[in-house]
Amino acid sequence: MTTYVLLLNWTELGIRNVRESPKRLDAARRQLEEMGGSFKDFYLTMGEHDMVAICEAPDDAVAARFAITLGMNGNVRTRTLKAFPEAAYRELIGTL
């Protein structure tokens, strides 16, 4: 599985209905699980982004489909980062 960091910000609609946010998070977890992935961590954050999710997905296509699905609901905007674990980082740097 590949790890992805999702940086999330509420849209105007999402913040207006913020009390429903925990239910939307539960639905997102189920959606990602149905796609073969999973949430590893989730954080409410202060600063540039409202939330951060650490997720795993089988491949980039699944991660992209999940991010697009979240955006289609209109409550959040996402930025997705592909994350390389430390072992992969060391291997990549070692090949330079």
What's the average model confidence in pLDDT over 65-89? 96
What's the average model confidence in pLDDT over 80-84? 97
What's the average model confidence in pLDDT over 14-19? 97
CATH number, position 69: 3.30.70.920
What pLDDT score was predicted for residue 79?
Answer: 97
What pLDDT score was predicted for residue 10?
Answer: 98
Q: How many CB atoms lie within 10 A of CB 86?
A: 7
Q: What is the mean pLDDT of the chain?
A: 97
Across the strands, what pairs with 39?
55
Residue 54: pLDDT band (50, 70, 90) is very high
CA 92/CA 86 separation, integer angstroms: 10
| Residues in Cβ contact with 20 at an 8 Å cutoff, skipping those fewer than 6 apart | none
Q: Domain span at residue 36?
A: 2-94
Cβ atoms of 6 and 57 within 8 Å: the answer is no
What's the average model confidence in pLDDT over 41-68? 98
What's the average model confidence in pLDDT over 55-74? 97
What pLDDT score was predicted for residue 43?
Answer: 98
Number of independent structural domains in the chain: 1
Give the phi and the psi of residue 82 in degrees, each rounded to 5.
-80, 130
